[in-house]
Amino acid sequence: MFRAIAARLKQGHRTTRYPAEPVPMPDRFRGYPRLDASACPDGCRVCADVCPVGAITPGTRDSDPNNGPKGLGTRENLSIDLGKCLFCPDCSEACPRGAITYTNDPALAANRREDLIVRPGDERRLAQALEQKMLSLFGRSLKFREVSAAGCNACEADTNVLSTIGWDLGRFGIQFVASPRHADGLWVTGPVSENMKDALLATYEAIPAPKIVVACGACAINGGPFIDSPEVHNGVDRLLPVDLFIPGCPPHPVTILDGLLRLLGKLEGA
């Protein structure tokens, strides 16, 4: 017993101090993208062509000289849809001018699907807190029932790790439960296959109102690498209203935790 106590004292604090302190991210982590429209010439589609899921819209200029200021045509900015993005390095490695780079910033979650589309110069639109009535219900205790709707288990694994001692999700009052009857919200991973559609909808109906829905990962948001397959529904928001979108393939645990804390108003500037 004394050896165990001594070992525990030697180990010190094991749980990450986030959000009081930032979590150091590995150098190879690809987070929020940085886009440089000036480095994106007309007619270049290199980044868009190599993207495996069609997440990139290349910058183009309207060919009609009567449009735009001084008759130069209108400009369509380069953009990345983080809801589709797998955060692979293909686009940044293929671009010869460095128009696309990825920062080390893990904060990616948003409340609205359209807020996941990133354009140069746009104001960043991260997740905002629930309305006050919902916060009064869920701010101190939020329980989720998770449905893996044909996921590969990557998003599920990075969600599960938040319940370990290293993250201790329960200290924020957030837990995952076995029964939808005991849940406040639905946590969805996977592209929602046809075989899982009925189970997903039945689980949602079994959760008492009011309730929230979280789409975790590229598959749950837009189908991920399975996008447009006839066997999937390209994510959950075509079937249910979604309150929080967490991008990634899979999302890093910090990205997931950051989104949840913003939703509950537990982050400054959220």
Give me the mean pLDDT over the 188-195 stretch: 97
> In sequence order, what DSSP letters do the residues of 242-262 get, joined into one string?
-SEEE-SSSPPHHHHHHHHHH
**Could you tell me which residue, 68 or 246, shows the higher pLDDT?**
246
CATH topology of domain 132-263: Rossmann fold (3.40.50)
CATH of 33-102, one of 3.30.70.20, 2.60.40.10, 3.90.550.10, 3.40.1670.10: 3.30.70.20
Ordered by start, the domain boundaries in the chain are 33-102, 132-263
Question: Which pair of tokens denotes residue 264?
Answer: 């509950």
Helix, strand, coil proportions of the chain in percent (round to 5)? Answer: 30, 15, 50
CA dist 214 and 142 (Å) reads 12
Q: Is the peptide bond before 19 cis (omega within 30 degrees of 0)?
A: yes
CA dist 170 and 162 (Å) reads 9
Q: What is the pTM of this model?
A: 0.90
For residue 3, the model assigns a pLDDT of: 83
- Judge if 33-102 and 132-263 fold alike in CATH terms: no
% of the chain surpassing 90 pLDDT: 79
For residue 4, the model assigns a pLDDT of: 74
